[in-house]
Amino acid sequence: MDSFITFDPTGSVEAAAQECAPRVPEIKGSRLAVLNNTKWNASKLLRQSVAQMEELGAKFDIVNFYDKHHFSSDAEPALLDRIAAENDIVLTAIGDCGSCTSSCVNDGIQMELRGLPAAVIVTTEFEREATLQKRAHGMDDLEPVVITHPISSLAPDLLSGRAREVAPQALSIWVTGARPAAGA
């Protein structure tokens, strides 16, 4: 008689818990790092999101823009160190597919470990991937900015609506660590 072995492909994730960076007491006077993962529409979304935050009253001391090498790779440690030295808070985008979501979340985790609150923009279709990635690194409390999918294939004239989704979430994440309640 043949014997069969059944394997459970779901597995489990075990990671040492890591703390998020302390939140900033207020946005006014903060130095904002904007980390573009170089995916199509990411730069446009990020710039429009900053403009939208400023329309909501955010008064940044300075906004510094950075580009990473490739959207599906983690940012280089030297770039992350530079961002940490020059800024107080971070906005990064975009996670709207598997590998770019993973690398955006990884970049956000690395910024948090360097002491900067990070707002990582992902789309609704990849929120689960973002959750799995942050849990795999033990940073369950990292709250992503979740906006309507898609971004990279979206017509540029429609990005302003997505930026309006980003602004209140990012502002709340930097100060409280949490997204505002739906409809708030």
Per-residue pLDDT tens for 157-175? 899 999 999 999 999 999 9
**Where would I find the beta strands (DSSP E) of 8-138?**
31-36, 62-67, 89-95, 118-123
Please check whether residue 108 is in contact with residue 118, taking contact to mean a CB–CB distance below 8 angstroms.
yes
Closest CA to 24 of 172, 181, 179: 172
Query: What is the spatial distance between Cα 59 and Cα 57, in angstroms, rounded to a whole number?
Result: 6
> What does R_g of the chain's alpha carbons equal in angstroms?
17
In sequence order, the 6+-apart residues with CB closer than 8 A to the CB of 135 are 13, 15
Structural contact between residues 89 and 111, judged by C-beta atoms closer than 8 angstroms: no
Residue with tokens 């930097």: 174
pTM value is: 0.92
Taking the C-alpha atoms of residue 101 and residue 128, their distance in angstroms, rounded to an integer, is 10
Residue 82 structure tokens: 């530079």
CA distances from 174 to 27, 61, 142 (A): 8, 15, 11
As a whole number, the mean pLDDT across the chain is: 94
Condensed to tens digits (0 to 9), the pLDDT of residues 33-67 reads: 999 999 999 999 999 999 999 999 999 999 999 99
